[in-house]
Amino acid sequence: MLFLKVISKLAPSVIYSISDIAAFILFHIVRYRRTISYQNISRSFPNKSKSEILEIQRNAYRYLTDTFLEICKEYSQTQEDLASRVTFENFSEIKKAIDNNQKLIFLTGHTGPIEWIGHAASVYLGIPIDPVYKPSHNKAIDRFIFAIRSRYQATPIPYKTLAKDIILRKNVTRCIAILADLEPRSRDQAVEIDFLSQKTRFFLGPERMAKISNMPVYFVAIKNTKRGKYSATAHLISMNPKELEPEVLTRKFAMCMEELIIENPAAWLWTHRRWKNKRTKA
């Protein structure tokens, strides 16, 4: 899409100025999912005051527009600029595993521009980071996002074909990145976990894939260190997923994700309908 490609070529200062305007419009004028985001935050932090919740909510819209524009920026971002914007912590074990041709699974959530982190990690580790994704119904947007995700020799994997991809490419040294923090569909196999002060369903698919492949699983905590700059910290969840009892891996991921959100609540994607079955009128 031409408009998104033009955005990708803008200077960061211009992009963040646009983001400020877009966040103001979404929050104050369009009122995009304001009821949903307010309910999500207030139920997740029942001890916070109304003013604290509103502050998190307003800041969350700026994070939302920043992330969208940063994803667009990645379409034409240089490797040097990308490297200057993402730092890595606790990745020494991962480097050793890759040197031994070990394949890995990264689990993470919506607390930053995933494409930036994935591509920067690919350069840092010297192997492809293959993102698992759900294709968009909008073909033009899907092609644009696919082009972004395909950079640095990455092979985006539609979730429905992930099991087949793992089997067919079992001899390829790579990392598979899965966003595992969104609401599962009603027909998906899921487990209910105490998460952010409420019962929350988590998709068991990533755990199932980890057990099928027995790839070591790491949680990657994405944090915003400064506007336009991020850190990615690796936390080992399991070296041998097959040895874990059912649901343990998913529960460990949920615990890591909860700690990350509590540390900086505004950075998470609160506009998502995360708790669909609890939605009530405001």
Per-residue pLDDT of the chain (282 residues; tens, 9 = 90+): 677 889 899 999 999 999 999 999 999 999 999 999 999 999 999 999 999 999 999 999 999 999 999 999 999 999 999 999 999 999 999 999 999 999 999 999 999 999 999 999 999 999 999 999 988 888 888 888 999 999 999 999 998 899 999 989 988 899 999 999 988 887 788 999 999 999 999 999 999 999 999 999 999 999 999 999 999 999 999 999 999 999 999 999 999 999 999 999 999 999 999 998 554 433
Tell me how far apart the alpha carbons of residues 133 and 71 are, in angstroms, rounded to a whole number: 14
Provide the pLDDT for residue 278.
56
Q: What is the DSSP letter of 27?
A: I
Coil, strand, or helix at residue 166?
helix
Provide the pLDDT for residue 40.
97
Provide the pLDDT for residue 282.
36
Provide the pLDDT for residue 137.
84
Tell me how far apart the alpha carbons of residues 71 and 77 are, in angstroms, rounded to a whole number: 10
Helix axes 248-263, 205-213, angle to 10 degrees: 130
Tell me how far apart the alpha carbons of residues 117 and 220 are, in angstroms, rounded to a whole number: 10
Q: Are strands 175-179 and 104-108 parallel, antiparallel or unpaired?
A: parallel
Tell me how far apart the alpha carbons of residues 236 and 219 are, in angstroms, rounded to a whole number: 6
> What burial class does residue 245 get, using C-beta atoms within 10 Å of its C-beta: 0-12 exposed, 13-18 middle, 19+ buried?
exposed
Terminal Cα-to-Cα distance of the chain (whole angstroms): 37
The model's pTM is 0.92
Element (H, E) at 153: none
Tell me how far apart the alpha carbons of residues 154 and 176 are, in angstroms, rounded to a whole number: 10
Q: How many CB atoms lie within 10 A of CB 54?
A: 14
Tell me how far apart the alpha carbons of residues 241 and 247 are, in angstroms, rounded to a whole number: 11
- Of 60, 12, 15, 69, which is closest to residue 39 (Cα–Cα)? 60
Strand partners, 130: 176
